[in-house]
Every structure is written in structure tokens, then in C-alpha cells.
């Protein structure tokens, strides 16, 4: 749905007339007259806050009680069906919601930001826009709605705007002049975080109906992954179900049927606080990984499909970086590298960033220092990932939470 989300505040109902009406007082001594109490004014319902267009109203103004909407709830199946009605599991969830470090409200706020920003983005992104303008549209909305505050809340990672055979990890650097074209297939992958809880979700835009089946295949594969995910689900088996769904589709291009291939060396992943890739991978091709999903984990279920070889390689100018979670503590020879690392620690911590974000915080002439941090193993670079030139790739992604009682698809919305 492309309409701007409007969410009313919780309001206080005006009191009923019968409760506010006139009340008889005892008779006044010696007069027989009755005194009347003053009529209480009715309480006014709180005004409804509306999101602006472009979205710039911080969510705390729309949800002043700090309770944000749940995502789409799905019951666990088979051996885990008991969890939905278990009083013990319900108690566990109540305890989580009372823990300021674990409460689901943080990730739900991030999810609501993503929904509102992406619905606006889906409506306004059109061929002829520059990549930088598109990135700014998304990131400015995200920062405003999440009420960016240092490492407390903000953008979760650089906005990915990979096009055509480039599947992932392209974001425009400063000075990029590339323009979105009518025939492009563009992946829009952006994140939001609140207190380190990262919401990771992506969709694909195409303006040429030739590739509708490609998008349909990848969206269906992501939905399959979401359906099969759950506590104790084995990652290799989920991958097999994703592949089976994805590769049941074909795309007709210039009168020729092209099979859709799952990209074998890309994957979804678990998410940890302030760590976008948490250590577990949900691959897209069946394998023997017996690792299980566990209660309380967050997963980004993302799938990539291609009309090409179904395998990506690193290619192109780097934009994405992230400080390593287990970065070594080593003496740095370059004074500029020491200064840059201090800035990275202050502004991003272990959250991914891009060169535009360094520009934004006032860094300049930093490429030598940045490459030195990469060479020392302190910062990881993430070059663009591309399939064969001439092929087309698509991506869809949702973040889900394996709650004790239910699976919550946090990023689900009316648009997909």
C-alpha cells in the first residue's frame, strides 16, 4: 500500500454525561433550596498525530506511550505448537517486556519506522532520480522518524540501491552521478535500529513488467523462508525449501524462458545487538547445516534470485564498511587512522557505515586511513556483489523474532 501511514494516539475517552451531569446537594439549612455542584468539564480526546509527507514526524509523537505495533504473528507448528498456550512461555514474554535491555518495543519502533519510510519511498522513487537523491529520501526519513540520537537510535546500515546484475552492497558514494533508469531492477535494502536492535528489510522495484516473475519468485521464496523458520528449525532444511520455491519460476525475456536461480553464495542471517550479521546463516541452496534456530533469536530472512549464473563476485567501488566486533587492539602507525577509528567508534560503533556517513560527520581525506584500518583487520570492507553482466537480480527480506510463544514477522506491512 502506497498511502502514508496515519496512526492515532491512544486517547482518553470523555466521561459519560451521566457521570458529569448535575448532582443534587443536601438542602441548605432553613431554606429548602438545593445547591448544585458545578458541572465538570468533559475531558477532550487527545489530538490524533499524523505523519507528514515526506515523513518527518518522530514516532514518539505518534506513539507517546512508547508501545509500538506488533508485527505479523504466526503460531509455531508441529512439536512447538504448545508454546502458544503455555502459561510458562507467556510469563517469559511478560518478563522480557519488563526488561529495558530485552523489551520488544525497541525493535517494534524500528519496524514501524521502516514501514512508514518504505511506503513513502515506494511511492516516490521513479526513473530519472539520482542514486544519491533516493538514498537521501530514505535516510532522511529514517533519521527523523526514529529520532536519531547517536548510538541510541538511527540508521541501521547504509541504504543499498543495487541495480540489475549487482545484487547487494552498492550505496552511492559522494559525487556519484548515476541515475535510475526505466529498465532497471533495483534492490532497496535499508535498516533502522533502536538501542542496537536492528530491523533489516528489503524489497525490489522494477518499472518493466518483463521482470515481474523474477520479483514474484524471490518474494515467494522469502515468504517460504519466513514460514519454515522457527525454534529448533534446521538452517539447511530452510535453505532447501527456499531454493525449491525460487527455482520453480521462469522469466520470459525476448521470447526465451530463463530459469530463476537462487544465488548460492548469498544468505540471510541472525542479528545480534549492534551486529547485523550475528553468526548464523540462512543459505538459499539446500545444504547439510544442522544448526538450529533458537528461542529469542532475531533473523533476517532474505532471498536473492537471478536470471544469470546464480553466483556473485566482488566487483566495483566499495561503499560499505563496518568495524569488526572482535577487532584486534593493535598500535596504529598512522595518526589519521587513529583519529578516524575514534570517529568510527563514536558515531557507528560496530554498526555498518558508508563513505557518505563519514562525510556527514565531518571526516575528510580519510581514504588512506580507512584502507589502513581495513588492512589491519579492524574494519571490514564490503564491496558490491554482482552476478554476470546482463543478468537481473532481485531481493526481498523480512526480519523476524522467535518469541517464546509465537513467531513475529516484525517488518511485515500492507505493502509486502
- Domain residue ranges of the chain, discontinuous segments joined by +: 72-318+390-409, 320-382
Q: What is the pLDDT of residue 98?
A: 87
Q: Is 139 annotated as a binding residue?
A: no
Closest to 234 in 3D by CA, of 292, 300, 318, 149: 292
Query: Is residue 20's pLDDT more than 90?
Result: no
Question: C-alpha cell of 57?
Answer: 514526524
Confidence of residue 9 (pLDDT cuts 50, 70, 90): very low
Query: Is residue 21's pLDDT more than 60?
Result: no
Q: Could you confirm whether domain 320-382 is CATH 3.40.50.970?
A: no
Q: Which of 93-107, 252-266, 402-416 shows the lowest per-residue confidence on average (mean pLDDT)?
A: 93-107
- Read off the pLDDT of residues 113-161 as tens digits, 9 standing for 90 and up: 999 999 999 999 999 999 999 999 999 999 999 999 999 999 999 999 9
Higher pLDDT, 205 or 26: 205
Q: Which of 144-148, 178-182, 328-332 shows the lowest per-residue confidence on average (mean pLDDT)?
A: 328-332
Mean pLDDT of 357-363: 98
Euclidean distance between CA atoms 67 and 327, whole angstroms = 36
Q: Is 397 annotated as a binding residue?
A: yes
Query: Is residue 340's pLDDT more than 60?
Result: yes
Question: Percent of the chain scored above 70 by pLDDT?
Answer: 88
Confidence of residue 42 (pLDDT cuts 50, 70, 90): low
Instruction: Give the 3-state secondary structure of 169-225.
Output: CCCCCCCCCCECCCCCEEEEEEEEEECCEEEEEEEEEECCHHHHHHHHHHHHHHHHH
- Read off the pLDDT of residues 64-98 as tens digits, 9 standing for 90 and up: 999 999 999 999 988 999 999 999 999 999 999 88
Question: Percent of the chain scored above 90 by pLDDT?
Answer: 83
As annotated, the active-site residues are 189, 200, 269, 277, 302, 397
- Give, rounded to a whole angstrom, the gap between the first and last alpha carbons of the chain: 8
Query: Is residue 101's pLDDT more than 70?
Result: yes
Cis peptide before 399 (omega within 30 of 0): no
Q: Is 99 annotated as a binding residue?
A: no
Higher pLDDT, 226 or 23: 226
Q: Is 302 annotated as a binding residue?
A: yes
Q: Is 87 annotated as a binding residue?
A: no
- Read off the pLDDT of residues 246-283 as tens digits, 9 standing for 90 and up: 999 999 999 999 999 999 999 999 999 999 999 999 99
Q: Which of 31-35, 109-113, 298-302 shows the lowest per-residue confidence on average (mean pLDDT)?
A: 31-35
Q: What is the pLDDT of residue 10?
A: 41
Q: Give yes or no for a contact between 197 and 107, defined as CB atoms under 8 angstroms apart.
A: yes
Spatial neighbors of 181 by CB under 8 A, at least 6 apart, are 127
Q: What is the CATH number of domain 72-318+390-409?
A: 3.90.230.10
Q: Which of 23-32, 146-155, 232-241 shows the lowest per-residue confidence on average (mean pLDDT)?
A: 23-32
Amino acid at each position: 500500500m502506497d498511502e502514508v501511514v496515519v496512526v492515532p494516539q491512544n486517547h482518553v475517552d470523555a466521561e459519560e454525561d451521566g457521570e458529569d451531569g448535575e448532582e443534587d446537594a443536601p438542602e441548605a439549612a432553613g431554606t429548602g433550596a438545593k445547591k448544585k455542584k458545578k458541572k465538570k468539564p468533559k475531558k477532550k480526546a487527545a489530538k490524533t498525530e499524523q505523519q507528514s509527507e515526506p515523513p518527518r514526524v518522530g514516532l514518539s509523537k505518534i506513539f507517546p506511550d512508547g508501545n509500538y505495533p506488533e508485527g505479523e504473528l504466526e503460531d509455531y507448528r508441529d512439536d512447538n505448537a504448545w508454546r502458544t498456550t503455555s502459561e510458562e512461555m507467556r510469563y517469559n514474554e511478560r518478563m522480557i517486556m519488563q526488561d529495558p535491555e530485552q523489551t520488544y518495543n525497541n525493535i517494534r519502533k524500528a519496524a514501524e519506522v521502516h514501514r512508514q519510510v518504505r511506503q513513502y519511498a515506494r511511492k516516490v522513487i521513479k526513473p530519472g532520480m539520482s542514486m544519491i537523491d533516493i538514498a537521501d529520501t530514505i535516510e532522511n526519513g529514517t533519521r527523523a522518524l526514529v529520532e536519531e540520537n547517536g548510538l541510541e537510535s538511527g540508521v541501521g546500515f547504509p541504504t543499498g540501491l543495487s541495480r540489475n546484475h549487482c545484487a547487494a552492497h552498492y550505496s552511492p558514494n559522494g559525487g556519484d552521478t548515476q541515475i535510475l533508469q526505466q529498465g532497471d531492477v533495483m534492490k532497496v535494502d535499508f535498516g533502522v535500529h533502536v538501542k542496537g536492535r536492528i530491523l533489516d528489510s528489503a524489497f525490489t522495484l522494477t518499472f518493466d513488467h518483463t521482470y515481474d516473475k523474477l520479483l514474484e519468485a524471490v518474494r515467494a521464496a522469502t515468504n517460504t523462508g519466513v514460514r519454515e523458520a522457527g525454534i529448533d528449525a534446521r538452517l539447511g532444511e530452510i535453505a532447501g525449501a527456499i531454493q525449491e520455491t525460487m527455482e520453480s519460476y521462469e522469466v520470459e525475456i525476448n521470447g526465451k524462458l530463463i530459469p530463476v536461480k537462487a544465488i548460492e553464495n548469498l544468505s540471510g542471517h541472525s542479528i545480534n545487538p549492534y551486529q547485523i550479521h550475528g553468526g548464523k546463516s540462512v543459505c538459499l541452496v539446500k545444504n547439510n547445516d544442522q544448526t538450529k534456530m533458537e528461542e529469542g533469536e532475531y533473523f533476517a530472512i532474505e532471498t536473492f534470485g537471478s536470471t544469470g549464473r546464480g553466483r556473485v563476485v566482488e566487483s566495483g567501488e566499495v561503499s560499505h564498511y563496518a568495524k569488526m566486533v572482535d577487532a584486534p587492539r593493535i598500535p596504529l602507525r598512522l595518526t589519521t587512522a587513529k583519529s578516524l577509528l575514534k570517529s568510527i567508534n563514536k558515531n557507528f560503533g560496530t554498526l555498518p557505515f558508508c563513505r557518505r556517513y563519514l562525510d556527514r560527520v565531518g571526516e575528510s581525506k580519510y581514504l588512506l586511513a580507512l584502507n589502513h584500518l581495513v588492512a589491519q583487520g579492524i574494519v571490514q570492507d564490503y564491496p558490491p556483489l554482482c552476478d554476470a553482466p546482463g543478468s537481473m537480480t532481485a531481493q526481498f527480506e523480512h526480519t523476524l523474532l522467535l518469541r517464546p510463544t509465537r513467531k513475529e514477522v516484525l517488518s511485515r506491512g500492507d505493502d509486502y
